[in-house]
Amino acid sequence: MPNQQTDILFQLIKSLTKAEKRNFKLFASRNQQGGDLKFVQLFDVLDKLNKFEEDVILKKLPQIKKQQLSNQKRHLYKQIMSSLRIIHIQKNIDIEIREYVDNARILYNKGLFLQSLRMLEKAKQLAKLHNQDILHLEIVEFEKMIESRHITRSIANRAEELSEESTKRVKVIKGVGQLTNLSLQLYGMYIKIGHVKNEKDAVIMSHFFQSRLQVTHPSNLTFFEKIHLCQAYVWYYYILQDFPLCYKYAQKWVDLFKANLSMIKHDVDLYIRGYNNLLSALFQLGYSSKLSTYLGELIAFEEANKHNFSENTKTLLFLYKNTTKFNQGFLEAQFPDADAWIPQLEKELQVKLHNRKIDQHRILIFYYKIGTYYFVIGDNERAIDYLNLIIQSKVGQLREDIQCYARMLHLIGHYELGHFELLEYLVKSVYRYLAKIEDLNAVQKEVLKFLRKALYMNPKELIPLFVNLKASLQKWVEHPYEKRSFLYLDIISWLESKIQDRPVQEVMREKYLKNRR
């Protein structure tokens, strides 16, 4: 097995674009003939391999001894990173600022104090312009060090000015840190449990949020403080299922970037995350027209700027666009190109998962959406195949809500296929699972109770049962906490399809055309 460093090097080389590979070759040969360098030869061999095999490498490079290989790999890694820095310095403002700071350090070490201060001033102006608060503080602290050790006479009252500037930056960084901590903690809670399940959970969540929200004057916040405040509110209201307020703060998030266009270039990922949250809120609110409008904006933004995007940004756009495409399909109950789109999506998911560009959480979401899609169009066998991928996954407590409703939809799929003997066992299994994770709510109880009763009944006797179950569930549709079941599974449309003897998709489409907004 290759060691971790080897894996890292191999992954890095495979992630390079053609332009980055070309730049590396030019960088490596800047002082001598690149082809004569062992680390360049190693690069060429690794670039052509489909998987890392040390024996193959040593066979192709007899001039590199086995005991030399680790040093050559380490050196190659450093050289690649140095060449990438040259390319990305024009795309990442923080790298450009750090170069100024690095140059200032070199000048200072040579005893050129005034030149060092001038270099730091350039860096500081960039940091101010692009709201780079941590780098701004680092620069100020460097300036303070120079002023305290050398009599530069650069500006009168310099000590007081730098001290005040440092104090202000520390306060801003503390505020940003508190807000990002809060956003991260809320996100972690959602990943684990999903939406709040009851009033007790809502009270705990509210106390948690309010006790950690220490913003006193929102109007005086810096750009990133405002963004991270919006982010915290988005997660808070999303977890509480308060989608109108979630939409409000997601809209503010996107509008803040639109009012500060230079910040989009600085942190494009954060900008498109805002769009994703906006699209998610619109889906939950059922605003299909607005969802289409904002999705169109996101796609237009991608088309205009994709040549500048990093792999991270491309991956995020892949996730967000495909998630929204599913959501739009569920809202409108139609999937025009699904036969070609979904197989291609699954292939891309597997490649991205293999290359560690997408996490298991996102995979679970897509499997659930694909399973739900097949259920909606009446292909229950394929729906079960995808739901099984969730049920059989070894992900512990990750997205227990998705794992829970995958099991519920899995039961309904088997019911549709007439697998009654299997269902008797599966219903008991799901009961045990829901009791174990303490997530057996009223809607689930009603559905499970129905399935146990309906297993061996005459089909002619089932219509009254479907009618009664729909009536029982209808009272929970607007319940503050029980309604979350309907966010995951449109059980009402399924019941109506059974009562009316019509396809689920047809029922959902009719509802959309009647109530679209």
Q: How confident is the model at residue 517 (pLDDT cuts 50, 70, 90)?
A: confident
Q: Is the Cβ–Cβ distance between 257 and 263 less than 8 Å?
A: yes
Indicate the pTM of the whole model: 0.83
pLDDT of residue 439: 77
Rg (CA), the chain: 28
Q: Report how far residue 89's alpha carbon sits from residue 96's, in angstroms, rounded to the nearest whole number.
A: 5
C-alpha distances out from residue 42 to 6, 16, 74, 164, Å: 12, 15, 11, 52
Same domain, 146 and 29: no
Same domain, 343 and 482: yes
pLDDT, tens digit, for every residue of 71-90? 999 999 999 999 998 888 87
Q: How confident is the model at residue 483 (pLDDT cuts 50, 70, 90)?
A: confident
Please report whether residue 254 resides in a domain: no
pLDDT of residue 5: 44
Residue 264 is given by DSSP the state: H
Please report whether residue 306 resides in a domain: no
C-alpha distances out from residue 382 to 131, 188, 413, 481, Å: 49, 31, 9, 31
Residue 255's identity, in one-letter code, is: D
pLDDT of residue 150: 79
Phi-psi region of 393 (alpha: psi -120 to 50; beta: other; left: phi over 0): beta
Q: Report how far residue 255's alpha carbon sits from residue 277's, in angstroms, rounded to the nearest whole number.
A: 13
The average pLDDT across 331-340 equals: 89
The average pLDDT across 242-250 equals: 96
Give the pair of three-digit tokens for residue 388: 């099984």
pLDDT of residue 398: 75
Please report whether residue 356 resides in a domain: yes
C-alpha distances out from residue 402 to 129, 283, 392, 517, Å: 43, 17, 13, 27
Please report whether residue 503 resides in a domain: yes
Same domain, 84 and 98: no
pLDDT of residue 353: 75
Q: Report how far residue 233's alpha carbon sits from residue 340's, in angstroms, rounded to the nearest whole number.
A: 38
Question: Higher pLDDT residue, 464 or 2?
Answer: 464
Residues of the chain with pLDDT > 70, as a percent, come to 95
Which of 124, 154, 184 marks a domain boundary? 154
Task: Give yes or no for residue 216 having a pLDDT over 70.
Answer: no
Residue 34 is given by DSSP the state: G
Binning the chain into helix, strand and coil, the percentages to the nearest 5 are 80, 0, 20
- Nearest of 253, 143, 249, 239 to residue 189 by alpha carbon: 239
Q: Which residue range(s) make up the domain with 144?
A: 93-154
Please report whether residue 410 resides in a domain: yes
Give the pair of three-digit tokens for residue 403: 């794992």
The CATH number of residue 406's host domain is 1.25.40
Average pLDDT value for the chain:
89
Same domain, 83 and 104: no
Residue 459 is given by DSSP the state: G
Please report whether residue 463 resides in a domain: yes
Which of 48, 64, 88 marks a domain boundary? 88
Task: Give yes or no for residue 279 having a pLDDT over 60.
Answer: yes
pLDDT, tens digit, for every residue of 430-467? 988 888 887 788 899 999 999 988 887 877 788 999 99
Same domain, 79 and 119: no
Q: Report how far residue 406's alpha carbon sits from residue 383's, in angstroms, rounded to the nearest whole number.
A: 10
Q: Which long-range contacts (CB under 8 A, 24 or more apart) does 122-131 make?
A: 123/97, 126/93, 126/96, 126/97, 126/100, 127/97, 129/262, 130/93, 130/97, 130/262, 130/263, 130/266, 131/222, 131/223, 131/224, 131/263, 131/266
Number of domain units in the chain? 3
Q: Report how far residue 199's alpha carbon sits from residue 481's, in angstroms, rounded to the nearest whole number.
A: 7
pLDDT of residue 154: 56
Same domain, 390 and 439: yes
Same domain, 76 and 122: no
pLDDT of residue 286: 92
pLDDT of residue 513: 92
Please report whether residue 446 resides in a domain: yes
Same domain, 118 and 73: no
- How big is the CA angle at 198 (ends 193 and 202), to the nearest 5 degrees? 80
Same domain, 64 and 101: no
Which of 114, 130, 154 marks a domain boundary? 154
Q: Report how far residue 138's alpha carbon sits from residue 119's, in angstroms, rounded to the nearest whole number.
A: 13
Same domain, 362 and 496: yes
| Length in residues, the chain | 517
Please report whether residue 378 resides in a domain: yes
pLDDT, tens digit, for every residue of 352-365? 776 677 888 888 99
Backbone phi, then psi, for 124, in 5-degree steps?
-65, -40
Task: Give yes or no for residue 317 having a pLDDT over 80.
Answer: yes
Q: Report how far residue 104's alpha carbon sits from residue 120's, in angstroms, rounded to the nearest whole number.
A: 6
Q: How confident is the model at residue 4 (pLDDT cuts 50, 70, 90)?
A: very low
Best-predicted range by mean pLDDT (43-47, 191-195, 347-351, 438-442): 43-47
Same domain, 477 and 352: yes
Same domain, 358 and 425: yes
pLDDT of residue 151: 64
pLDDT of residue 441: 86
pLDDT, tens digit, for every residue of 88-137? 887 788 999 999 999 999 999 999 989 999 999 999 999 999 889 999 99
